[in-house]
Structure 1
Amino acid sequence: MVQSLLALTPTLVVIAFFLIGPSNWSRRRTWTRAVTCAFVAAVALRYIVWRLTETVLPYPNDGINFYWVWFIFVVELLAFSEVVLFLILMSRYVDRSAEADRLGRPFFQRRHSDLPTVDVFIPTYNEPLDVLERTIVGTLALDYPRDKLKVYVLDDGRRDWLKTFCEAHGAVHVTRSDNAHAKAGNMNNGLRVSSGDFIAIFDADFVPYRNFLRRTLPFFSDETVGIVQTPQHFFNVDPVQSNLGLENIWPDEQRLFFDEIAPSRDGWDVSFCCGSCSIARRKAIDAIGGFPTESITEDLLTTLSMLNKGYKTRYLNERLSMGLAAENLTGYFVQRERWCQGGIQTLYLHNGPLRGPGLSLFQRIMFLPMSWLVQYLVRFAVLLVPIVYLWLGALPLYFTDVADYVSNQVPVLAAYFLLMLWITPTRYLPVVSSAIGTFAAFRMLPTVISSLVRPFGKPFKVTPKGSGNEESSFDAYTFTWIAGFIAVTATGLVINIVPETARIQGAFSAIAALWSGINVVVLVIASLICFEKPRRLFQAFKLDEPVRVDGTTGRVVSLSLEKAVVAVPTETRFRSPQVKLNLDGFEPIDAELRQATQRRGDISRSGDKRRYYLHLHFDLRGSERDKMIVKLYTGRYSRDVPDIDKVAVSVNLLLRAFGRTRGV
Structure 2
Amino acid sequence: MVQYLVVLAPTFLVAAFFLIFVQGWSRYQTWTRTVTCAIVFAVAVRYLWWRLTDTVLPYPGDGLDFYWVWFLYGIELLAFFDITLFLIIMSRYVDRSAQADALASDFFRRPRQELPTVDVFIPTYNEPLDVLERTIIGALGLHYPGEKLKVYVLDDQRRDWLRRFCEEKGAIHVTRPDNAHAKAGNMNNGLTVSDGEFIAVFDADFVAHRNFLRRTLPFFTDPGIGIVQTPQHFFNRDPVQINLGLERSWPDEQRLFFDEMAASRDAWDISFCCGSCSITRRAALEAIGGFPTESITEDLLTTLTMLNRGYKTRYLNERLSIGLAAENLKGYFVQRQRWCQGGIQTLFVHNGPLRGPGLSLFQRIMFLPVSWLVQYFVRLAILIVPAVYFWTGYPPLFFTEVADLVSHQLPVLVAYFLLMHWITPTRYLPVVSSAVGAFSTFRMLPTVISSLIRPFGRPFRVTPKGSSNVDNKFDGYTFACLAILIAATALGLVINIIPEWARIPPGEFSPVAIYWALVNVVVLMIAALICFEKTNPASESLRADEPARFGGIAGRAVSLTLGKAVVEIPIGTDVETGKVVEVTLHGVEPFEAELRVVTRRTQGRRRDTGALKYGHLHYDLTGAARDQMIIKLYTGDYSQDIEELRRRTVAAGLFSRTFGPAYQRA
Question: TM-score surpassing 0.5?
Answer: yes
Q: Secondary structure at the match of 1:588?
A: strand
CA contact (8 A) 1:119 1:199 kept: yes
Q: Give the whole-Å Cα distance in 2 for the aligned partners of 1:575 and 1:180.
A: 55
Q: Is the 8 A contact 2:328 2:536 kept in 1?
A: no
Post-superposition shift, 1:2?
A: 2.6
Task: State the SS of the aligned residue for 2:310.
Answer: coil
The answer as to 2:616 corresponding to 1:620 is no
Matched residue, 1:655: 656
Q: Where do 1:445-524 residues align within 5 Å?
A: 445-504=445-504, 505-524=506-525
Say yes or no: does 1:567 pair with 2:568: yes
**How far 1:352 sits from its partner (Å)?**
0.4
Q: CA offset at residue 609 of structure 1? A: 6.9
State how far apart, in whole Å, the 2-side matches of 1:585 and 1:643 are.
29
Tell me the residue number matched to 2:600.
598
Question: Cα 1:159–1:271, aligned 2, differ >3 Å: closer, same or farther?
Answer: same
1:214-613 residue pairs with structure 2 within 5 A? 214-504=214-504, 505-568=506-569, 569-574=571-576, 576-601=578-603, 611-613=612-614
Deviates more, 1:148-157 or 1:579-588: 579-588
Output the CA distance in 1 between the equivalents of 2:106 and 2:653. 50
Tell me the CA shift for residue 239 of structure 1: 0.3
- How is 1:67-86 mapped onto 2 (pairs within 5 angstroms)? 67-86=67-86
Q: Does 1:171 align with 2:171?
A: yes
CA offset at residue 488 of structure 1?
0.6
Specify the SS of the correspondent of 2:413: helix
Percent identical residues? 68
The 1:400/1:576 distance shift into structure 2, 3 A limit, reads closer
Amino acid at match of 1:634: T
**Farther-moved stretch of structure 1 (291-300 vs 2-11):** 2-11
Q: What is the RMSD computed on CA atoms of the aligned residues? A: 1.4
Q: How far does the alpha carbon of each residue in 1:9-43 deviate from its partner, in whole angstroms, 9 at most, with x for none? A: 11111100001111010000100000000000000
Q: Retained in 1: the 8 A contact 2:95–2:316?
A: yes
What is the deviation of 1:150?
0.2
- Equivalent in the alignment of 1:101: 101
Query: What's the secondary structure of 1:547's corresponding residue?
Result: strand
Runs of 5+ consecutive residues of structure 2 not aligned to the other structure: none
TM superposition shift of 1:548: 1.6
Shift of 1:662: 6.5
Residue matched to 2:22 = 22
Contact 2:250 2:650 in 1 (8 A): yes
Q: Distance in 1 between matches of 2:429 and 2:653?
A: 14
> Which digits, 9 at most, give the CA deviation of each residue in 1:119-155, with x for residues without a partner?
0000000000010000000000000000000000000
- Contact residue 567 and residue 610 of structure 1 kept, 8 A: no
**CA–CA distance in 2 between the matches of 1:167 and 1:435?**
48
User: Does the Cα contact within 8 Å between 1:652 and 1:662 map onto a contact in 2?
Assistant: no
Deviates more, 1:548-557 or 1:64-73: 548-557
Aligned twin of 1:605: none
- Tell me the distance in 2 between the aligned counterparts of 1:136 and 1:163: 12
Displacement of 1:468: 1.1
Per-residue CA deviation, residues 228-279 of structure 1 (Å, 9 max, x unaligned), is 0000000000000000000011101100000000000000000000000000
CA distance in 1, matches of 2:92, 2:449: 32
In structure 2, distance between residues paired with 1:575 and 1:162: 38
* Contact kept? 1:150, 1:171, Cα under 8 Å: yes
Q: How far apart are residue 215 of structure 1 and its match?
A: 0.3
Give the secondary structure class of the aligned counterpart of 1:520.
helix
Q: Is contact 1:44-1:412 (8 Å) kept? A: yes
In the TM superposition, residue 577 of structure 1 has moved relative to its aligned partner by 2.2
Q: Cα deviation per residue 1:431-461 (whole Å; 9 max; x = unaligned)?
A: 1001001100010001000000000000000
Q: Given that residues 386 and 489 in structure 1 are in contact (C-alpha distance below 8 angstroms), is that contact kept between their aligned partners in structure 2?
A: yes
CA distance, structure 2, for counterparts of residue 310 and residue 586 of structure 1: 46
1:576 is displaced (CA, Å) by: 4.8
Distance in 2 between residues matched to 1:662 and 1:357, nearest whole Å: 60
Amino acid at match of 1:562: G
CA distance in 2, matches of 1:402, 1:158: 66
Q: Quick check: 495-504 or 505-514, which moved more?
A: 495-504
TM-score normalised according to structure 2 size? 0.98
SS at match of 2:588: coil
Letter in structure 2 aligned against 1:273: C
Q: Determine helix, strand or coil for the equivalent of 2:624.
A: helix
TM-score calculated relative to the size of structure 1 = 0.98
Q: CA deviation at 1:589?
A: 1.6
Between the aligned partners of 2:585 and 2:131, the Cα distance in structure 1 is 24
Query: 1:455 & 1:586 partners in 2: Cα distance?
Result: 50
- Quote the Cα distance in structure 1 between the aligned partners of 2:435 and 2:313: 33
8 Å Cα contact 1:163-1:173 kept in structure 2: yes
The alpha carbon displacement at 1:610 in A equals 6.6
- What is the count of residue pairs matched by the alignment? 659
Q: Which runs of 5+ in 1 are unaligned?
A: 603-607
Q: Contact 1:3/1:403 (CA < 8 Å) preserved in 2? A: no
